[in-house]
Amino acid sequence: MKAHLILAVSALLFCFGLAAQTQQGEDLDLQYATELLKKGAEAPDFTLNDIDGKPFTFSSLKGRRAVLVFWASWCPDCRAEVPELKAMYEASDPGKVAFVSVSFDREFDKFKNYAEQNALPGVQLFDPSGKKDSAIGSAYHVKWIPSLYLIDAAGKVEFGTVVAAKIAAALKQ
């Protein structure tokens, strides 16, 4: 009987934990993602150098959905999302979904070292202007990092969020 009671209490605590996580994710978007581009908006095009110093133009991905991530190596919330991003990447078909990350690190070596040491998935881009001064961050209304977008194959915003799990859920649909 005591074991059943412990099991029941554990199950309730687990459910409350999931509800709190869902609520927290919703609260994070309500708090930090309110200014992100809305569904149907044209995703602004940009060109940045990748981790190898080669120019990459975002619009080259038209025809595939894209997960666009704004982050920095110094950001603890960004680092916490890495496992979710890796799982999304592994579960996705690269012919249908591209992953592009824009780092707001101001020092290229810090960006490159973190990206390589953590085997960050997809195309890794460097914006040396940093979060506050980034024209790209401004065009995407990034006020908080990480900020993530799901862009459709036509280059339109499906949605923006600060919670990677929401992008993962949309990719599974």
pLDDT score, position 28:
85
In angstroms, the CA 47 to CA 152 distance is 18
* Residue 79 · residue 47 · CB < 8 Å: no
Q: What are the beta bridge partners of residue 69? A: 101, 148
Cβ neighbours, 10 Å, residue 6:
10
DSSP state, 59? G
pLDDT score, position 19:
39
Question: Is the bond into 94 cis (omega within 30 degrees of 0)?
Answer: no
Domain residue spans of the chain: 1-32, 35-172
Write down the CATH superfamily of domain 35-172. Answer: Glutaredoxin (3.40.30.10)
Successive 10-residue mean pLDDT values, the chain, 173 residues: 41 38 64 93 98 97 96 97 96 96 97 97 96 96 97 97 95 88
